[in-house]
Chain A
Amino acid sequence: MERNSSTGPAADPAPVGEADHVSKSFGETRALVDVSLEVRPGECHGLVGRNGAGKSTLVSLLTGLSRPDRGSIRLEGQPAPGLADRGAWLARAACVYQRSMVVPPLTVAENVFLNRPTGGNDTLVHWRAMRDRAHELMLDWGFDLDVDQEAGRLTVEQRQIVEIARALSIGARLLILDEPTAALEKAAVERLFEHVKRLRSGGVGVLYISHHLEEIYEICDRVTVLRDGELVLSGRVRDVPQANLVAAMVGTAPPKRATEIEAVEKTGAAGEKRLQVDHLNVLSRAGSVDGVSLVVRAGECVGLVGLDGSGSATVADAIVGLVKPRSGTVSINGAAPRPGKVDAAFRRGVGYVPQDRHARGFAPQLGVSENLTLTVFDRFARRFGIVSFGERDTIARGLVEKLQIVAQSLGQPVSSLSGGNQQKVVVGRALAPDPSVLVAVNPTVGVDVASKEALLDALGSARDQGVAILLVSDDFEDLRICTRLIVMVRGRIAVEFASPPWDRQRLISAVEGLEVAV
């Protein structure tokens, strides 16, 4: 993206947003340490960093949702208003979050002017003036949107426009876009970039947060990299080669695995095809999938790696039947279960470790034993479906031992277990029916180190016993049990990594959407 340097700052106007040596801690966690950053009018400033690098904390400081422990925030050259003065913040800085902040039942115009006077009168809503002004605003900024439409019917892209228009109409000069393209299709991304360029030339300063580094190169003037709460790199985009950017994000890895991810060396050919996915197309809010094909054989553990919204989790959902694909097939052990039917997939021998254990993983008030055996009721149910508790507990005891679940008793409610043990119950439940295919989504998320080891060991031994495992994860620690990696970017398979060890940096580059040669 070339930028005409003659439009650069003439009299060096005050930055629209500025963080001056800010630090912020939450308890023991140091979320930000002495970070300085400024967004000038007419500039698009990229902010990148891996999850947990401190991007969200910086955004919350810049939008007045929290206050820095040390350092200061300035907006348009003025000291930041107090936290209680929401109106003053909204008039200077706005953030378009990934989570939509539009009100579905209201019209576009109403959403733009939410809680603001529209006519001469402060308490009454002047409908015509509001519509006219919203329409004018859309024309001014080149947004093509009917202001009388109900916001609930808008696409993700259109909702973003509503939020951008709202921010602009309040007068915000600092606009923060938090991963705006995560849920957008290619054409919509192009249109968004057009809008950003227009905003820039209108004197708005944009802070652009994205995991997709190629976007930073396309749209941003400068880029700042955060890692573990610290600013590690800041400079003009054209002066920062991609390799440096990636290196700054990754940092120096722990000495033991300096550049490589150790994983099992799988010797000998893998077994027969257990899971086959052909040209899968899924439309999903959580990340669409576009023409994905893959095969997992017995005894293999294939790592499906991708960012949030890359579609990797959606592939898993489609395999187990939680979402119905638009087209394409999933076959398990040579036969295709009815698409979109979870019980059909399970009957074909699929085990499933869901992404969100609280939502789908277990029934919190039920006991350990009951949760572990939810998937195998029919095995110990006797005549007329009457459950034999003795047999149930025998099965459960085996799983408790295998996964080293720490619980006071088999009847202890799962809700009262630690996160690590809860997750072990979820994995145990998936392993209980001796699945031939296991689909696991982020199986070690949010658990302690010891539990993580236990979980990975259990999955590893299942793999060695011939289970075909598809491991969807963005945690590189998980990948040590994998025999092969597939990287997904924007719903497509970007690249495959055959056998370990894998180069950490190349893997990250691939995941972040940069071209890599394999």
Chain B
Amino acid sequence: MLALNFFRELTLVPVIIVLMIAGAIVNPVFFTSSNLINVAEGGSALGMVVVAETLILLTGKFDISLQGTFGLAALLGAWLIAPKASSGLGAELSPWLGLVIVLLVGLVVGTFNGFLVIKANFNAFIFTLAMSILLTGLQLGWLGGQTVYALPEVFIYIGAESWFGVPVSVWITVVTFAAAALFLRYHRVGRAMYAIGGNLEAARAAGIQVDRIRIGVFMVASILAAVGGLMQAGRVTAVTAGQGSNLIFGVFAAAVIGGVSLDGGRGRMVGALTGVILLSLVTNILTLSSISSTWIDAVDGAIILIALGLAKLIGTERA
């Protein structure tokens, strides 16, 4: 039974294998280590937000504004520490303070979302959609569409450096996935999250502090999204005004094709991880192939639909 459960989360593995073979055929460069690291690096920032969204989905809610946090947190941090010449404030605060600001923005947005969605009972969809538009708009308006660049090394470290030949961002994302998976499986609060998403009233009746946990999940998720934004900034050594735009669609796609239910209570980090890997592979292969860049979005969408169909056939997808 348990083994069966485990395999159910891995239904995407055959799809991933097929994609890798396709990649190798499309372009021999695909199977070089530098390209594969590239795939991992490309997926790491997305992966952070997928972990975040999965945590929220498990408790039966969702948060569209994670993409706004992903952009705005990094932007505010960068703006405070960058010189005026590179679109910063010019105060050139310590880059360490910048990092704290990034996390703080995540915390503030997550707390705000959590309280209003859980305590004030706003509809999660429309509320976080509005928040997303607001945050992205702030990001654009703040700098009038400029890009903040020339960022200090400390600030871009996790997105730009490598350990043992593997980017720091990949290490962090892998560790985050593992930590989240272990937490969900072995921590009481982790199990409580499944109970909350699976049957809110039963969870409440069992004495689980359902509101506190759900708000906490919103807070943690936004912080993770902010870290993801930092990775993205480090990777391109700049924060663009559009960082994070449209990211959330990929996030939901990765989680759902990885078997995470939109109704809550069902899904695992392993599955979500396979979703991230699949999407990153698709992006990479499309880039390597000779498909015109204007067609990439359409192909991307088609492949997500196919993956959804496969997941449904194999029985992972219930949403």
Contacts and interface: CB of A to CB of B under 8 A. Distances in A.
B188 A114 contact: no
Interface residues of A, number: 24
Interface in A79-96: 86-87, 90
Contact of A114 (B187, B202, B265): B202
Contact of A115 (B1, B5, B208): B208
* A interface SS class: loop
A83 to B, nearest CB: 13
Given A86-B207, A114-B206, A148-B1, A103 B187 contact: no
A376 interface: no
A101 B1 contact: no
B61 interface: no
A103 B198 contact: yes
Contact of A101 (B5, B187, B205, B261): B205
B203 A114 contact: yes
B206 A115 contact: yes
A409 interface: no
B212 interface: no
B191 interface: yes
Nearest to B2: A148
A59 to B, nearest CB: 13
Nearest to A147: B1
Interface stretch (A104-112, A341-349, A472-480): A104-112
Contact of B202 (A86, A101, A122): A101
A102 B191 CA distance: 14
B207 A105 contact: no
B266 interface: yes
Nearest to A166: B206
Interface residues of B, number: 26
A115 B192 contact: yes
B191 A90 contact: no
A117 interface: yes
A124 interface: yes
Contacts of B192: 115
Contacts of B265: 103-106
B202 A102 contact: yes
Contacts of A122: 188
A100 B205 CA distance: 11
Contacts of B201: 99, 101
Interface string B180-215: 000001111111101101110111011110000000
A106 B191 CA distance: 9
Interface string A128-149: 0000000000000000001011
A99 B202 CA distance: 10
Interface in B1-25: 1-2, 5
A137 to B, nearest CB: 16
A141 B186 CA distance: 28
Contacts of B185: 125, 127
A123 interface: yes
A99 B208 CA distance: 19
Most A CB contacts (10 A, CB to CB) among B186, B191, B194, B195 go to: B191
A104 B187 CA distance: 19
A127 B201 CA distance: 24
B203 A103 contact: yes
B188 A104 contact: no
29 contacts: A86-B207, A87-B207, A100-B199, A100-B202, A101-B201, A101-B205, A102-B199, A103-B198, A103-B203, A104-B198, A105-B198, A105-B266, A106-B191, A110-B195, A114-B195, A114-B206, A115-B192, A115-B207, A122-B188, A123-B187, A123-B188, A125-B185, A125-B186, A125-B188, A125-B190, A127-B186, A148-B1, A149-B1, A150-B5
Given A117-B188, A124-B187, A148-B2, 10 more contacts: A86-B207, A87-B207, A90-B207, A101-B202, A102-B199, A103-B202, A103-B265, A104-B198, A105-B261, A146-B1
Interface of B: 1-2, 5, 185-192, 194-195, 197-199, 201-203, 205-208, 261, 265-266
